[in-house]
């Protein structure tokens, strides 16, 4: 069993209501009771409508709570339907997912993501920055160049890397039950770490998670890659049982 800190981050996407607190509660209890299992950090990124409620209702916290997006603008402004990083921070968010491919698919550019990252860093939120290639890009052999571009155009050398965790999420793997071949995945995770250090002229190795169709059955496969610092889990995090089983099975 590894003794390196591993992240298990749930991305609830557009799921949940006040009754979903029972899921939060079960995962929180599990986190408390299994604290000797290993060094792990459990985070659930929930819809913005629920973060304040969950944050207040959860008395002793053994997990952290986060959200899934924000507007780039730092103050209040004429942006109908939007929520900024400061509002999310005040509502109890500690983490924020940015650059998710489901938002990129709706037109979010690397440049817009950069503005959101700046805003979130200003609020001292911890960022889970999603990067990953589409199937078309993969088939054209462009995976590494896409990842490099996503890192270079959304980040700056002066950013506090301690507040940014990468989530490598191949778009073709999200919600499809398809996962990368382990030897390819290992190379990609190593590439992200190496390329980031080179381009951002830092000795600090960034944390890199894997995300895309992780479930309680396939999680064991990933434990062979020590370079993976944890997982971003979508669909399976909407069930406390499935999410907890992923964590238990990872350490089996």
Identify whether the C-beta of residue 10 lies closer than 8 Å to the C-beta of residue 47. no
Distances (CA, A) of 231 to 40, 57, 93, 139: 11, 26, 19, 24
Residue 230 interacting with ligand PEP (CB under 6 A): no
x/- mask, ligand PEP, residues 25-54, rule CB under 6 A, reads ------------------------------
Instruction: Tell me which residue has its CB nearest to ligand PEP.
Output: 234
CB of 7 to ligand PEP, least distance (A): 13
φ, ψ dihedrals at 225, nearest 5°: -105, 95
Residue 127 interacting with ligand PEP (CB under 6 A): no
**Count of alpha carbons within 13 angstroms of residue 139, beta-carbon side:** 5
Stretch binding ligand PEP (CB under 6 A), from 26-34, 117-125, 217-225, 230-238: 230-238
φ, ψ dihedrals at 192, nearest 5°: -60, -45
For ligand PEP (CB under 6 A), the number of binding residues is 14
Query: Which token pair is 179?
Result: 């996962």
Q: Is 169 tagged catalytic? A: yes
Q: Is 73 tagged catalytic? A: no
Q: Which of 71, 100, 102, 133 is catalytic?
A: 100
Per-residue DSSP letter, 87: H
Identify whether the C-beta of residue 217 lies closer than 8 Å to the C-beta of residue 246. no
Q: How many CB atoms lie within 10 A of CB 177?
A: 10
Among 99, 132, 206, 211, which residue interacts with ligand PEP (rule: CB under 6 A)?
A: 211
x/- mask, ligand PEP, residues 85-114, rule CB under 6 A, reads ------------------------------
Interaction site with ligand PEP (CB under 6 A): 11, 13, 169, 174-175, 211-214, 232-236
């Amino acid at each position: 069993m590894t003794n390196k800190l591993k992240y298990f981050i749930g991305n609830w996407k557009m799921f949940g209501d006040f009754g979903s607190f029972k899921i939060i509660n079960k995962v929180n209890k599990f986190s408390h009771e299994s604290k000797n299992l290993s060094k792990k950090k459990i985070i659930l990124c929930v819809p913005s409508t629920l973060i304040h409620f969950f944050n207040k209702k959860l008395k002793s916290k053994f997990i952290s709570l986060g959200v899934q997006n924000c507007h780039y603008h730092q103050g209040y402004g004429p942006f109908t339907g939007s929520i900024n990083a400061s509002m999310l921070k005040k509502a109890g968010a500690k983490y924020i997912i940015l650059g998710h491919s489901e938002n990129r698919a709706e037109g979010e550019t690397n440049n817009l993501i950069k503005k959101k990252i700046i805003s979130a860093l200003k609020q001292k939120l911890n960022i889970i920055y999603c990067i990953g290639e589409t199937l078309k890009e993969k088939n054209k052999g462009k995976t590494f160049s896409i990842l490099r571009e996503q890192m270079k155009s959304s980040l700056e050398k002066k950013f506090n890397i301690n507040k940014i965790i990468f989530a490598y999420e191949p778009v073709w793997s999200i919600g499809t039950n398809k996962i990368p071949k382990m030897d390819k995945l290992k190379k990609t995770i190593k590439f992200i770490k190496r390329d980031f250090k080179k381009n951002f002229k830092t000795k600090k190795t960034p944390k890199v998670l894997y995300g895309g169709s992780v479930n309680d059955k396939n999680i064991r496969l990933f434990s062979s890659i020590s370079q993976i610092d944890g997982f971003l889990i979508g669909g399976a995090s909407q069930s406390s049982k499935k999410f907890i089983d992923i964590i238990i099975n990872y350490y089996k």
